[in-house]
Amino acid sequence: MPYEVLYHILSHLDWFALADVEKVCVRCAEVVADARLYREVNLRPYWDRVDSYFLLWLGNRCAGIKKLDLSGCGIVNEFNIIDLKIFFNRHGHTLTHLRLNCIGVRHAMSFVLLLCPELTELCMQNAILDNQRYQPSVCKRLTALDLSRAQCTPETLLTLLQQNPHLQHLSLASCDQSSLPDITHTIGEHNRALLSLKLWKTHALGAHGLVPLQHCTKLQELDLGYSNHEDCAEGTLARLAAACPDLRWLVLGGFRGITNNDLLAIARHCPRLQYLDLMSSVMLSGEAINAIFIGCPALRLLELSYCIGIEQEWIDMWRREFPHVDVKHQC
């Protein structure tokens, strides 16, 4: 059988099947060793099977690898930090996309930041970096960064943001508040190309924390749920809405200090809005929310659960008059 035909057939197998096929004959072993098979490797579906032996096997075959997803790996069949260092020392310089969400080795961030200079996407949810030490980074081409529930020093995080002015997607959801001093000031100064920003449950924003985000005028998705530890200053949310007319997805559930005037500004300036979460916003009136339905014709979902100031008559009317909008409401 011609080499390319056999290569095409084997390209449809998963990684563990390839490891078995290479034992069939010398010809199969040659094809399995072809680095083209390993340009994009997603091991997340096999998280319970990846171990030290498999990482070594993969590392011997994946020269030129571009995309790697090890999310969830190393929890059942464990590998250690040495195994990962060996792998990234060999292949980190070619990686452009890397996902290490919730892996068994939670301290991997330290050497990833040093060994992967070509990364454009880095996802390391639940990662831990030494909270007492600044970690330098060679990652300066990132367009997507997800550090949800990660732990690192403020200096490390702020420097990483400053080094990557072309970031388009940033998630710091549930990050420790102590890691996020002046986070929006850094974002507003250095990351103005952002399309999406998630600060859910960071509790990091003060009264004027939204002001610097007015420079991020390209934002389409913004999650501020439970992100402030004190009421936002009057008018700051309204001015942010005016500065970001392309917003499609806005989460304000549990955000302190939302007023009717803020909703009127959203209705006036964000006509493309499709998703709005106002859960637990207790100071809003039915009239202000009604303006959202009128000013945002693209709206498809509105979350109003635990908005105790909204009477059921309003909910019934909106569901009747705007059937294309899924209105979520429970007391």
Domain assignment of residue 56, yes or no:
no
- Looking at the domain assignment, is residue 275 inside a domain? yes
pLDDT higher than 90, residue 328: yes
Question: Per-residue confidence at 276, pLDDT binned at 50, 70, 90?
Answer: very high
Q: For residue 24, is it within any domain?
A: yes
Residue at 41 is within a domain:
no
Domain span including residue 242: 234-330
Asked, for residue 241, whether it belongs to a domain, the answer is yes
pLDDT of amino acid 194: 99
pLDDT digits (tens, 9 = 90+) for 6-55: 999 999 999 999 999 999 999 999 999 999 999 999 999 999 999 999 99
Q: Is the pLDDT of residue 179 over 70?
A: no
Element (H or E) spanning 170, and its range? strand 169-171
Report if pTM > 0.85: yes
**Higher pLDDT, residue 175 or 304:** 304
Q: What is the phi/psi pair of residue 103, to 5°? A: -80, 165
233, pLDDT greater than 80: yes
Q: How confident is the model at residue 133 (pLDDT cuts 50, 70, 90)?
A: low
**Angle at alpha carbon of residue 330, lines to 328 and 331, rounded to 5°:** 150
Mean pLDDT of 227-250: 96
Q: Is residue 8 part of a domain?
A: yes
For residue 285, tell me if it sits in a domain: yes
In this structure, the dihedral spanned by the alpha carbons of residues 50, 51, 53 and 59, taken in order and rounded to 10 degrees, is 60
Number of domains in the chain: 2
The mean pLDDT value for 180-192 works out to 91
Residue 132 has pLDDT above 60, yes or no: no
Residue 156 or residue 200, greater confidence: 200
Dihedral sign computed on CA atoms, order 248, 253, 255, 256:
positive
Tell me the per-residue pLDDT of 286-309, one tens digit each, with 9 for 90 and over. 999 999 999 999 999 999 999 999
Sequence-ordered list of residues with C-beta below 8 angstroms from that of 266, at least 6 positions apart, any chain = 238, 241, 247, 250, 273, 276, 292, 295, 296
Q: Is the predicted pLDDT of residue 183 greater than 80, yes or no?
A: yes
CA dihedral sign, ordered 17, 18, 19, 23: positive
pLDDT, one tens digit per residue, over 87-130 is 999 999 999 999 999 998 878 878 899 999 999 999 999 988 76
**Residue 286 lies inside a defined structural domain of this protein:** yes
pLDDT, the chain, mean: 94
pLDDT at residue 181 tops 70: no
CB distance 108 to 102 below 8 Å: no
In this predicted structure, the answer to whether residue 131 has a pLDDT above a threshold of 60 is: no
Domain harbouring 303, CATH code: 3.80.10.10
Taking the C-alpha atoms of residue 187 and residue 33, their distance in angstroms, rounded to an integer, is 44
For the ranges 13-17, 148-152, 219-223, the lowest mean pLDDT is seen at 148-152
